[in-house]
Structure 1
Amino acid sequence: MPMKVWIDISNAPQVHFFKNVIRRLEREGHEVVVSARSFGAIEPLLSNAGIPYTLVGQHGGAEREGKLMAYSERVSELTRFVSKNDPDIALFKHSVEAPRVAYGLDMPSLCVLDNEHAIAQNKLMLPISQRVIAPEAISIEDIMSFGVEEDQIRHFKGFCELAHIHDFLPSVDVLNEFELSEDDPIAVLRPEPVMANYYHGDPSQSIVSSLLPVLDGFNCIVFPRTPQQAEMFSKLGAIVPSRCIDALSLINFSDLVISAGGSMNREAVALLKPAISTYPEKLLSITSYMVENGIKSHSCDPAEIKSHVDDLVNNAGYLNRLRRVLRAMENPIDVIVEELEAVALPRQ
């Protein structure tokens, strides 16, 4: 029996994550309605992917008061959106508003979790989510610490960004935007997540500023978090995209990715590219898992990072290890669709 699935999208990487879930659900005859908040590149990415959506609310900024105001306003707006569309089940990834609305309207919900350090989000989200899907790198105990029962958890072997590259076909057009070719050495960089409530570093400082001089042999393309960062990195000689671009294709044609965030590094791993994490605080469980299995490196020292770059780029042994580890992993899309059907269909 067909089901109607509501998907809430709260940041740009989730567009890549959910687009193939949406396509799978629609191929199987299910209906999908999508809500999205105004934040970063969400809107152009959804439009580029051809996904119909309703814009509901916006990001509250870096301060607590703004986050709380945006949360309360968005819960109210989503309640009207959901009441109008009447879905059978809610699906979201680190959205704090969607589970509150689903719980309040007595609707089953499925939460995808891959950041156990987002304490505030997880405390708001997990206790009222019916089911939680998470990479097995995050321990049962860590998930249960947020008020989840063990039988609510579905572990899968792998990481969420494997869904981003499902059926992915890279386009060389992205290189033309920067007047680059496939033969040019390219490094993709991403600074610290300064807008996130779990990050405690100085938002005016970034390791990217120290890395650009040691990567002088590469065309360095930086994806800033703020307009201030964009201006700073441009002055240091980096290429800074002026609009939303096809970042997955860019990663595919790059030689490596160095990021203080999570998604872009994991996308690089999924695309068989060297990835180096420069996150300066406690590592996520999935990052530690990747480092321990030799498929990603971590360092906050520019000289050591340069050494990692020299070791990893064009390293056949590293590439073979990456392929071997990835072959043993599950497709998260399969897991999500299976869980949606298990939760929603019996209620119809």
Structure 2
Amino acid sequence: MRVFVTIQHPAHVHFFREAIAELEAAGHEVSVFMRDVAIAADLLESYGIDYEVLAPTSDSLPSLARSQLRYEIALLRRARREDPDVVTAIGEPAVAHLSTLLDCRSVVFTDTEHATLQNRITFPFADRVCTPEAYMDDLGDEQVTYPGFHELAYLHPDRFEPDPSVVADAGIDPDERLVVLRLVAWDALHDVGGGGFADARAVVDELERHGTRVVITAEADLPPDLADRRATVAPEDMHHLLAHADLFVGESATMAAESAVLGTPAVFASTLELGYLEALESEYGLVVNTTGEDRQAEALRQASSILADHDGIDWAGRRERLLADCVDTTDVILSQIADSPAKRPAAEVDAPRPVAEQR
């Protein structure tokens, strides 16, 4: 098969990289396209994945519209030249629109309910929309659900093993208590109107009061008095740090879920609510969601409680229960791509494989 994969965010590189490697090893032709996102490009290069940039990034709604149009035209031109069988992405409108114009199928993955504008212009045109079972919305006949999380596409134990040398190389004493703090920029389209912590300095002070070392990963510049706490590990090595940490605290839903599936408890502080984080809290006790107006105070209260009782809680056991309930998400990606070799009406789609269930 010829498969197009499009990347809009660094997390999408992680999500698709194992599937790309397996498709290519099986002799399929995979082309990767993206917008000009520096960290995503760095990740692709670090994993040895060839890619082509089709459009610049955008920093406003008007520029987003221009960038999207440019991206869709460029992707359409590549598709007319290369004739893909399947086009796939996480929540990307272009692949769904492409499949309505050409004889190829679109497989769209998503776990983000609040990306309402993006979802509205993507889902009606997609041949298949794949979501975790925890996804809160019913998307109709084209929706396929599976027992798992996006993060298990690359952090399932069959695909990832923590490397303690990464922690040592970062100058972190393996015996010291470690908290990873994540601060986001809140400039992504689906984050508009959202918010997390009000005072990063106060968050660090409270966490360090418990005798922990705080390492910060942030999308924007840190204030001078926190700059020395910025993580020094490469982006592709961050998961080794999360696996070693005693606790994750932050505004990133993806990193909260990554921590959870690695067995590291996470406290998520944000106005945003997501089905997969709710499931990681209610079903497995690996995430605490703090979304109200007093979320900073509540997040710090929950973090303090976890740090105080950390050694008395069987985090590894909670993770094992999660893994027993879930599938390797890369297997879902591969099965959905393999199940979509040619353009067919939705009513004629074969029954999905056991790892996923069509609604």
Shorter-normalised TM-score: what interval? Answer: 0.7 to 0.9
Of 117, 124, 148 in structure 2, the residue corresponding to residue 158 of structure 1 is 148
Indicate conservation of the 8 Å contact 1:94/1:121, yes or no: yes
Q: CA deviation at 1:219?
A: 2.4
Indicate conservation of the 8 Å contact 1:191/1:207, yes or no: no
Q: Are 1:77 and 2:74 counterparts?
A: yes
Does the C-alpha gap of structure 1 residues 308 and 126 become closer, same or farther in structure 2, counting only changes over 3 Å? farther
Indicate conservation of the 8 Å contact 2:5/2:89, yes or no: yes
Q: CA deviation at 1:225?
A: 2.0
Of 248, 259, 271 in structure 2, the residue corresponding to residue 257 of structure 1 is 248
Q: Are 1:178 and 2:170 counterparts?
A: yes
Indicate conservation of the 8 Å contact 1:193/1:225, yes or no: yes
Alignment correspondent of 1:147: none
The letter for the 2-side match of 1:182 is: P
Does the C-alpha gap of structure 1 residues 268 and 82 become closer, same or farther in structure 2, counting only changes over 3 Å? same
Q: Normalized against structure 1, the TM-score is what?
A: 0.87
Q: Secondary structure at the match of 1:33?
A: strand
Alignment correspondent of 1:133: 130
How far apart, CA to CA, are the structure 2 residues paired with 1:202 and 1:340?
34
Q: Secondary structure at the match of 2:181?
A: strand
Indicate conservation of the 8 Å contact 1:116/1:143, yes or no: no
Alignment correspondent of 2:201: 209
Q: Normalized against structure 2, the TM-score is what?
A: 0.85
How far apart, CA to CA, are the structure 2 residues paired with 1:315 and 1:54?
49
Q: Are 1:267 and 2:265 counterparts?
A: no
How far apart, CA to CA, are the structure 1 residues paired with 2:231 and 2:101?
41
- Give runs of aligned pairs for residues 22-61 of structure 1, distance below 5 A: 22-61=20-59
Indicate conservation of the 8 Å contact 1:162/1:332, yes or no: yes
How far apart, CA to CA, are the structure 2 residues paired with 1:178 and 1:288?
32
How far apart, CA to CA, are the structure 2 residues paired with 1:83 and 1:210?
54
How far apart, CA to CA, are the structure 2 residues paired with 1:308 and 1:189?
16
The letter for the 2-side match of 1:221 is: V
Q: Secondary structure at the match of 1:313?
A: helix
The letter for the 2-side match of 1:161 is: E
Q: Secondary structure at the match of 2:230?
A: coil
The letter for the 1-side match of 2:146 is: F
Deviations 1:200-233 (A, max 9, x none): 447796453331111112222222122xxx232x
How far apart, CA to CA, are the structure 2 residues paired with 1:31 and 1:93?
19
Alignment correspondent of 1:343: 340
How far apart, CA to CA, are the structure 1 residues paired with 2:16 and 2:85?
17
Q: Could you tell me the percent identity over the aligned residues? A: 24
Indicate conservation of the 8 Å contact 2:18/2:153, yes or no: yes
Does the C-alpha gap of structure 1 residues 340 and 126 become closer, same or farther in structure 2, counting only changes over 3 Å? same
How far apart, CA to CA, are the structure 1 residues paired with 2:173 and 2:54?
39
The letter for the 2-side match of 1:212 is: V
Q: Are 1:307 and 2:322 counterparts?
A: no
Q: Are 1:225 and 2:219 counterparts?
A: yes
Indicate conservation of the 8 Å contact 1:164/1:267, yes or no: no
Alignment correspondent of 2:117: 120
Q: Are 1:330 and 2:327 counterparts?
A: yes
Deviations 1:231-256 (A, max 9, x none): 32x52355224684311122122222
The letter for the 2-side match of 1:27 is: A
User: Structure 1: which 5+ runs fail to align?
Assistant: 145-149
Figure out how many residues of one structure are paired with residues of the other and give that number: 332
How far apart, CA to CA, are the structure 1 residues paired with 2:176 and 2:342?
51
Q: Are 1:235 and 2:225 counterparts?
A: yes
Does the C-alpha gap of structure 1 residues 303 and 151 become closer, same or farther in structure 2, counting only changes over 3 Å? closer
Tell me which of the two structures has the higher relative contact order, counting C-alpha pairs closer than 8 angstroms and 6 or more residues apart.
2
How far apart, CA to CA, are the structure 2 residues paired with 1:239 and 1:74?
37
How far apart, CA to CA, are the structure 2 residues paired with 1:111 and 1:315?
41
Does the C-alpha gap of structure 1 residues 320 and 176 become closer, same or farther in structure 2, counting only changes over 3 Å? closer
Q: CA deviation at 1:177?
A: 4.9
What is the aligned-residue RMSD (CA, Å)? 2.4
How far apart, CA to CA, are the structure 2 residues paired with 1:177 and 1:292?
36
Alignment correspondent of 1:195: 187
Deviations 1:240-284 (A, max 9, x none): 2468431112212222211212111111111111111111x2411
User: Structure 2: which 5+ runs fail to align?
Assistant: 345-359
Alignment correspondent of 2:14: 16
